[in-house]
Amino acid sequence: MTPSLFPRRCATLRRGARRAFPPLLLLSAFAARPAVAAEPASPAPGPAPITSTQATCELLEARAAAEATLEMSPSIYASAATSVFEPQFAQELGSRDLTPRFRFGLGFRPSRFRQGRLRLREARLECQQATVLATVHRDADGSLVVADQLAHRAMADVLAAEIEQARGIAARLRDRLTTHRATLTQVHAVELKVAALEEQQARTKAAIVDSPPSPPRVHDATAQLDALSQTERELLDVQAKMRRSRAWDIRLVGGYESIVGVRQALPIFGLATVEWRPASLQQAKWERRARAAQAKAALVRRQQATAKRQTDLDVVRQELASTRERLAAAATLDRDLAQRHTFLLGLAGDDAAAFADQVLLDRAGVKAKVAFLQARAASLANSEQRLVAGLSTP
């Protein structure tokens, strides 16, 4: 699977976040390393067209980078509170009164920092999942499209050769007009045959140009489905880790403290708090249900892929049988015309030669049709073998 550009983009966003929050530089140094090595950028004459999958990945990456930057950022802490001192200390102050206390400092939550890193990993896996899903969904069998393209190209090649031969026959008949060995009607008939062949060649070239692009083939759909299942399992693991990290909220705060009316030798404070959510004890049950649902979905996808491949195989076999029947009829006609042409060449006289030329021109279109059907049958036979091999894959 092609590695995503997500790690490289996220590294850029994290560098921007560290410029905005200098204390994050040391805390996120180990998280700035990309999980997948970035590929060297190949020189391109212009920007490549973006696909829907790439756009989806960019959306996931940008959203995850924004959320991760916010989660991994340190916080500025400020508080104002009042406290009732102990009686002994209050007597020294002269009264038992509520004393204001001000605190200002920096805070850091390791649990949220871990959630930010997991969010980046989750976005990478979501991008991989979208890429594989797009590949599996567009795995439409393009056997018929490819067969028609190859058949039209083969037909165009045969027509080009036959048109050159027909033009030679027409030129030879025009030369015979001067010696009265050919009639103007014969020349016009040959020219009409040449025009018909040229028109057929133009239609064939137009069919090649207008043919839809052949859909990309995934020769091993099982590998694609396995990759999708593996990505989904990894995504479930990351999401489970993120939920477990949310069960704990660890907070570290330190900074300057000022108590009104009290002289402090060291006006600093430190605070550490830990919160735990008991509902995390039930997470294991839901994780087991999620894994079971993922396994069931993977099994259903594999069954659907097998059924789709069987349907594609049935369609290809029907088209192959029809093409072979048409090919047999066209080949029989071509052999008959070839035998007739050989027989006429053995006869003496200008009339026999003229009839031989007419048969040769009639055979030109048949030969083009035979080439078309042969190429189509060969392509469909290869597709049949590929689909049968795919069905035999466990």
In a domain, 302, yes or no: no
Positive or negative CA dihedral for 103, 105, 109, 115?
positive
In a domain, 195, yes or no: yes
In a domain, 197, yes or no: yes
In a domain, 321, yes or no: yes
C-alpha 283/C-alpha 279 separation (Å) is: 7
How many angstroms from the chain centroid is the CA of residue 17?
Answer: 31
pLDDT at 48: 53
Q: How far is CA 343 from CA 170, 235, 346, in A?
A: 21, 75, 5
pLDDT at 331: 92
pTM over the 0.95 mark: no
**Residue numbers of the chain with a pLDDT score lower than 70:** 1-51, 82-98, 136-141, 177-182, 213-221, 392-394
C-alpha 115/C-alpha 302 separation (Å) is: 33
Domain of 340, in residue numbers: 143-216+307-392
C-alpha 389/C-alpha 271 separation (Å) is: 66
C-alpha 306/C-alpha 256 separation (Å) is: 67
pLDDT at 139: 47
Number of structural domains the chain divides into: 1
pLDDT at 36: 38
In a domain, 11, yes or no: no
pLDDT at 332: 93
pLDDT at 2: 41
Can you read off the two tokens belonging to residue 217? 């083939």
pLDDT at 312: 83
In a domain, 375, yes or no: yes
In a domain, 200, yes or no: yes
Q: Is 203 exposed, middle or buried (0-12, 13-18, 19+ CB in 10 A)?
A: middle
pLDDT at 377: 93
In a domain, 114, yes or no: no
Neighbours of 221 (CB within 10 A): 20
C-alpha 91/C-alpha 72 separation (Å) is: 45
pLDDT at 181: 63
Block residue for tokens 């165009």: 156
